[in-house]
Structure 1
């Protein structure tokens, strides 16, 4: 990962702007045990209290790493009830990386965040309809399937 993703200037800027990066060897005790790190690379998005909100296992190139990090920030916002903040990160992901493999999950989470923020079930149905139209084979479309009835 060091040879391909981390030297990328856009990745470096993004990480430095949004994160406090910490590198831990997968066999470093006790952190590897504390965070259940079994393989490398494992990227974990934690909040300031050390609560995990997102995890990826395996290599991600620069074009997918930043979308994954956006998703981690959005999940942190969602988990802490900061729905508007989460929506900004999800919109950034979908706007800046529209072809990313993480877009279907972002669409799904956008619908959920909008619903949690407004209590309007139309957001869930809209998320399903967008997923069905743009990503019909995605696991996130399948997860949103019940929302078609709203």
Structure 2
């Protein structure tokens, strides 16, 4: 689960936001297993149209087949391609692909699906799926997928 320190840090972020953002909360998610390391933090609006903002964190794929520039990178919000955070459901898609001339195509896509059990007020639990399209020059690349558990906290 998300440590109390991270929950406190999210509260501190919220406390430092402008007074116009009173209807906001903090969301934090983490993965730390043999396949993936993820830290994900954001602020969200309690309104139905607010979404997630001020996103930061880091995603690391531990598989050596992941293209070198995609193995570990900071999250700044541009990678969050889809989001659904409403009621008891949390669904996120983080996606990044290689960029630049002469660089082979490769990508990473992390899908997070978590729910909040009825007895919990702030904790979400679920699964993640990381799909990696490795760069293989001169032939077809073979995408692979890894899965695991994720824990998130919102409040």
Give 1 or 2: higher helix fraction: 1
- Smaller-chain TM-score bracket: under 0.3
Q: Which has the higher contact order (CA 8 A, sep 6+)?
A: 2
Structure 2 length as normaliser, TM-score? 0.26
Give 1 or 2: higher strand fraction: 2
Structure 1 length as normaliser, TM-score? 0.26
